[in-house]
Chain A
Amino acid sequence: MLEKVFLILTVVLAIISISTTKLRRAVIYLGLFSLVISFTYLLYSAPDVAIAEAIIGSALSTILYLVALKKFQVFTIYYTNYDYNEINYDHVTVRRGQILKDIEKFYVDREMEPQIIYTTENFKHILKTKNYDLLIYQKHSDFYIYGFEKDYQLDAIEGYFMNEDHGNLDINIIRCKEGEYNDA
């Protein structure tokens, strides 16, 4: 009985891991899959194989995949807000989530790996010191998107936002030169 439950669980985990959009989640699901299938090997009385699967599948290959993802260059997106604690207009909050979702979807459609970092630091500080690919700064209902001039994705993002309706939110895209503000 227990074997069948774990066998079905392996199939479910395998399907989840190939159908997720983010690679980082897929790696974690693969590690889980390895753990579950190693327990199934144990139930079928093959402890030797179970040890090898548990070590190689969930420890070594997970770390290798994570390092490979880091080398694959993840796009870093910083999000910061002008008055973080005072925002309580519902429509602005909903729209903000919508915009972040749109940007994430934009990168996922182009098979890139977005990584959004929410921060409460001042945007000028981030502009100067952090190593970012895109910086989204919100002041009330105005959005400022900072990106690099040489980044050809920025034009695509602008076109993407022009085509879609975003209600009463203003979106400004600002292009920085390489190393104009940024020291990192």
Chain B
Amino acid sequence: MNNNSEIIARITGLLYPFIIIFGVYIILNGHITPGGGFQGGAVLASVFISRYLVYPFEDIKIKSLQLAEKLLFFSIIMIPILFLFTGFNYSAGQANSYYLIGMNLLIGFKVCFGLTIIFFRFVFYEGEK
């Protein structure tokens, strides 16, 4: 980890797009196939975490990630409330699947940001001498 291996760097760089596509696939198909927001978010977080193995420097803005996570959490609470109390779900049947996909996306990004924050806090701030 302290001296960067060329092989690991190249292979991880090749794998990034596939990991991202797989994570987004799991999130978008969460309401009909196995998977969902949490699992897809964890896959997306593994992109950031495996990035640390290749490039172990602190250049991720944890503050802005935290802000984004808080905003996502707020919208995860507010959107179901609006959706239920406006009575929109009774009028349009197609809207239910869009609602599920949208909520899965929000949860997925929130889990991704949360796991990334936990990991980078642990790596760069805990146990320093």
Q: Which residues of A contact B (CB under 8 A)?
A: 47-48, 50-52, 55-56, 59-60, 63-64, 66-68, 70-71
Contact = CB atoms under 8 A, between A and B. Distances in A.
A55 B42 contact: yes
B70 to A, nearest CB: 22
Given A60-B115, A64-B119, A52 B42 contact: yes
Contact of B1 (A47, A50, A55, A70): A70
A70 B42 CA distance: 23
A55 to B, nearest CB: 4
Interface residues of B, number: 21
Contacts of B45: 60
B87 interface: no
11 contacts: A47-B34, A50-B34, A51-B39, A52-B38, A55-B39, A60-B45, A63-B49, A63-B53, A64-B119, A68-B122, A70-B1
Nearest to B23: A55
B53 A56 contact: no
Contacts, number: 44
B42 to A, nearest CB: 4
A52 B39 contact: yes
Contacts of A48: 34-36, 39
A31 to B, nearest CB: 13
Interface of B: 1, 26, 34-36, 38-39, 42-43, 45-46, 49-50, 52-53, 115, 119, 122-123, 126-127
Contacts of B26: 51
A56 B122 CA distance: 16
A56 B42 contact: yes
Contacts of B52: 63, 67
A24 to B, nearest CB: 12
A110 to B, nearest CB: 20
Contact of B122 (A50, A55, A59, A67): A67
B35 A51 contact: yes
A52 B111 CA distance: 12
B33 to A, nearest CB: 8
A20 B48 CA distance: 31
Interface centre among A47, A51, A66 (most CB of B within 10 A): A51
Contacts of B126: 71
Contact of A55 (B34, B46, B53, B127): B46
A141 B29 CA distance: 67
Contacts of B49: 59-60, 63
Contacts of A52: 38-39, 42
A63 B46 CA distance: 10
B39 A60 contact: no
The 7 A-B residue pairs whose C-beta atoms are closest, nearest first, are A47-B34, A55-B42, A51-B39, A48-B34, A71-B127, A59-B46, A52-B39
